[in-house]
Structure formats: C-alpha cells, structure tokens
C-alpha cells in the first residue's frame, strides 16, 4: 500500500500512519481474525448498504446485491446529516471505559491501544475479541476531534466478535461511550460505509476536526480464503449530540 500520513489530536502527523494505520485499523491480516488457525470461512457479517468504489467514493449498493442488508432509500443518502446541526461543546480529555450500541446489542469494555515497536497500531488480543480498543494517541470520545474505536469482527477463539453486527447499523443510531471521569458521550450515526482495504479513508477517519466525532472500525466484505482475510472495512461515522 502507498504510505500516507494521518492527522493527530491537534492536526499533527502521528508515527502510526499510512500503511500501518490502514492495515491494523482496517482489521487486516492474520492477527485480526485468527486466520492462521482458520480452515473454513467464518460466518458472513452483515454489510452496510453504502459501499465505496476502489477510489473511496461511497456509492449506493443496488437492491439485490448480496452485500447489502437493506435497499438504499432517499432517507439513507439524502437530507441533512445529524452533524449539520448546532455544534456541541467538546468535553475535556478522558479515556473511554465502555461502548454501548443498542442497535447491535453491544455493551463492551474498551481498552486503550497504542502502537507497536514497528509503528503499527495495537489491536485487542484475539482471546479478548469481545472488547473494543480505543486508539489512545488520538482524541478521546467527546473531546474535539475524531476518536477512533476499533474491534474484531470475529475471532477463531470466540466466533463472532464485538463488532460482528457493525455493518447493520443505520444513520440515526446512537452510540454511548462511558468515560473514566464519570461522564458519558453520546453520538448519533451520520454514515455507515464499507471500503475496499486498498481505499481505506485514512484522512477521514483520523483527520482533525473541530467537532467531537467518533469512528468505529472493523472488518467487512468478502472473506478471501486465499489470504484468510476480509477484503473490506466497515466504518461508522458519528457526531456527538447534546
């Protein structure tokens, strides 16, 4: 993959960037899905209705496409975004402790993640695949900027993992993140999109923002038996709401 740099908390580049960010946050490789131990394809996770072209531009998935969970309607792609409303004042920095997503039945602990010695992003251990991971060098959920929370779609140890159902989320769904300071940051989903791993939107996921945003990332798309890896990423974009 071509290396690009990702924006940090204050718009400065991070060391974990480019291919490293794409590979690890895109849930790629054997470590993310236990591929080295897998002999049969895993159960297929649901996929969002909005897919992206290889260039990264979201496109409506035609009705009947087996990757779509539901046909796309005008309400899914048109009209004002939840993020178009008045800006919500950001919170002070505080680490997340749990993430709750009622739509898909997620109520999971969140661990802090950093980078490995080679600059790649750490991920939750496969035997803890029901936990999510927060990329600590970035913004915390509720703080100004885009906080990033990642999680496994499945695990050879546990089967379907914390974000197995992430692709079934819809615009307008709520995500609540509890924080160590006792507060909770509630986000409303703006968009749910699947991207080919070769077109992972690094800048959009990690780039700076004046608003408190949240990006939730997991694997998706077709499971490639040859590489024992998923070919796409599911990304949920959300904005903090009052």
Residue 198 has pLDDT above 70, yes or no: yes
Can you tell me the mean pLDDT for 211-230? 89
Residue 36 has pLDDT above 80, yes or no: no
Bridge-based pairing of strands 229-240 and 212-224 is antiparallel
- Pairwise pLDDT comparison (68 vs 242), residue with the higher score: 242
Q: What is the pTM for the complete model shown? A: 0.75
Q: How far apart are CA 134 and CA 136, in angstroms?
A: 6
SS3 for 28?
A: coil
Structure tokens of 137? 């060098």
Domains of the chain: 19-70+93-240 (2.40.260.10)
By C-alpha distance, which of 141, 123, 140 is closest to 132? Answer: 123
Q: Which residue has 């919170």 as its token pair?
A: 91
Structure tokens of 140? 């915390």
Q: How far apart are CA 189 and CA 179, in angstroms?
A: 19
Angle formed at CA 155 by CA 154 and CA 159, multiple of 5 degrees: 75
Structure tokens of 33? 């899905």
Query: Which distant-in-sequence residues (6+ apart) come within 8 Å of 91 by Cβ?
Result: 142, 143, 179, 183, 185, 212
pLDDT attached to residue 158: 85
* pLDDT tens digits along 152-164: 999 887 889 999 9
* pLDDT tens digits along 108-147: 999 999 888 887 778 899 899 999 999 999 999 999 999 9
Model confidence at 95, pLDDT cuts 50, 70, 90, reads very high
């Amino acid at each position: 993959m071509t290396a690009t740099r990702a924006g940090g908390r204050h718009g400065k580049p991070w060391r974990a960037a480019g291919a490293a960010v794409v590979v690890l946050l895109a849930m790629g490789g054997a470590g993310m899905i236990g591929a080295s131990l897998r002999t049969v394809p895993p159960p297929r996770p649901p996929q969002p209705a909005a897919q992206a072209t290889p260039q990264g531009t979201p496109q409506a998935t035609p009705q009947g496409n087996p990757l779509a969970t539901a046909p796309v309607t005008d309400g899914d792609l048109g009209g004002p975004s939840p993020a178009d409303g008045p800006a919500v004042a950001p919170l002070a920095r505080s680490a997340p402790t749990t993430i709750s997503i009622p739509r898909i039945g997620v109520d999971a602990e969140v661990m802090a993640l950093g980078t490995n010695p080679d600059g790649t992003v750490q991920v939750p251990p496969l035997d803890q695949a029901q936990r999510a991971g927060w990329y600590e060098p970035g913004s915390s959920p509720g703080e100004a900027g885009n906080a990033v929370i990642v999680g496994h779609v499945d695990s050879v140890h546990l089967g379907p993992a914390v974000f197995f159902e992430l692709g079934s989320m819809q615009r307008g769904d709520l995500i609540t993140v509890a924080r160590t300071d006792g507060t909770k940051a509630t986000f409303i989903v703006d968009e749910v999109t699947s991207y080919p791993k070769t077109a992972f939107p690094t800048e959009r996921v990690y780039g700076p923002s004046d608003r408190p945003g949240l990006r939730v990332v997991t694997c998706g798309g077709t499971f490639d038996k040859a590489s024992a890896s998923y070919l796409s990423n599911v990304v949920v974009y959300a904005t903090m709401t009052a």
